[in-house]
Chains A and B, each alone.
Chain A
């Protein structure tokens, strides 16, 4: 599998990252190396094997849908880079 500019661009967009022009070639090379490395897994014959999704041996436990942790609004907003005392502020989303 070859990493092209297009694929790199697409992954960066999905990951919400920008790739500065001057870092692109180096990153492409690293990405390619990492991918070649993990490609080794394709050799393993996994026919008939179920994917292992849960590593815990606990049974699912249901509980009442009650909030346990109660944070005050003030606390929640405390770490925000931009807020107005009520809400987090973000740049305008809907364009005219």
Chain B
């Protein structure tokens, strides 16, 4: 593109045509067509003048939980119908400053709560590889759009796997950075001590570049880290062939809930990694069974508090039928929140309520410390921790929507990184006989996204990557 063979304007038109042709996927809530065209012409002019930023020519979609000034934002919830962002999220602003073009916002599970992108007020998103199946969630629209070639990359958010699991289901890359690596300012909060913005991409290069630009201290988010940001992109090639010490969770591979094809691929991969010179060993993590319960107590508690701001007073949906204030709050919230959000708010209210908070919330905070310490111990001996991203490939639409527990258990391998705060990446390393993609996850040490990304980059040459992006 920089050589003038293809213009940003042509590229944006190409994506807009594809988005229109793929409307049945329901990946986008809103397409910023005219604006993206205008923006593309501006970027083309900058390229001509050689004053362009590092992301000139990159066309990005954003999950409907990331603020973009002057644009609609709903978290795929009726309670924010008609809401318009008053400012732009810090992470997104940094990408805009480098000339990224934003093509639209993408559907997700309401308030990022779910693993299938069916809990959305816009109806379910479909998986481009098999439209009868879900794209995963909660960043399902974002992963589906990247897999279907409707944009170069997407920004999702990951509270318990919401970037990595849909990346797994759609056959693309998904990275959750270390907690604090990317500013959360301007991200609609689900569970503040878990949430991170992360890229969904078709390559490790794109993930490295987007992270490099988004990451870093932001004074508007006091949990954002002041650790220096590494040159992830440049480091990809420098360290990609370095042999690593990798631990894989024995319990994960032996778990009866693991799909046999995923298991076979995991075992095959372990051999391929050893053949490529890495040291791979089985490790134990006795707290595995407690990850998901701990995650749900803490995240629902934080969510019940975060979502109390949606009261029908200052923005969003307000009921027509309330005569007094308390009734207005209750009716507005009851009318506009979906079933899964209400269930989680109720559970969260319970675990925080007087008389129960010690037994539930405080106990979970203690278990979280044990999880973090046990994880840190593993990383004293290993550079990377290997698990499947999800126990199975994509489910059919409607398969788990009415069973909250079945949905919860699908999160078992991804919530670990959010509970402990470590970075983790899902790589498109598997495909079933039916052609359904699935991901393999690697978790790394705090702020070692460089190691994760370079290792992932090296894998493309060392092991068999079955997924080709045939949908491009």
What residues make up the interface of A, taking CB atoms closer than 8 Å to B? 7-8, 10-12, 14-18, 20, 27, 30-31, 33-35, 37-44, 46, 49-58, 60-61, 63, 68-69, 71, 75-76, 78-82, 88, 90-93
Contact = CB atoms under 8 A, between A and B. Distances in A.
B369 A52 contact: yes
Nearest to B359: A42
Given A41-B360, A44-B366, 5 more contacts: A41-B290, A46-B370, A51-B368, A52-B365, A52-B372
A53 B368 CA distance: 9
Contacts of A46: 363, 366-367, 370
B416 interface: no
B241 interface: no
Contacts of B363: 41-42, 44, 46
Given A37-B405, A57-B180, A15 B314 contact: no
B350 A11 contact: yes
B324 A93 contact: yes
A18 B446 CA distance: 42
Contacts of B316: 79, 81
A34 B403 CA distance: 10
Contacts of A56: 179-180, 222-223, 225
| Interface size of B as a range | 35 or more
A44 B389 CA distance: 25
Interface in B363-421: 363-370, 372, 404-405, 408, 421
Nearest to A95: B324
B472 interface: no
A27 B312 CA distance: 23
A79 B366 contact: no
Nearest to B324: A91
A35 B333 CA distance: 23
The 5 closest A-B pairs by CB, nearest first: A51-B365, A81-B318, A79-B315, A52-B369, A46-B366
Find the residue from A34, A40, A75, A91 having the highest chain B CB count within 10 A.
A34
B360 to A, nearest CB: 7
B372 A75 contact: no
Given A16-B311, A79-B84, A91-B323, A55 B421 contact: yes
Nearest to B298: A52
A79 B304 contact: no
B469 interface: no
Contacts of A92: 324
A7 to B, nearest CB: 8
A81 B315 contact: yes
Contacts of B169: none
A63 B219 contact: yes
Nearest to B348: A15
A54 B222 CA distance: 11
Contacts of B83: 79
Contacts of A35: 347, 350
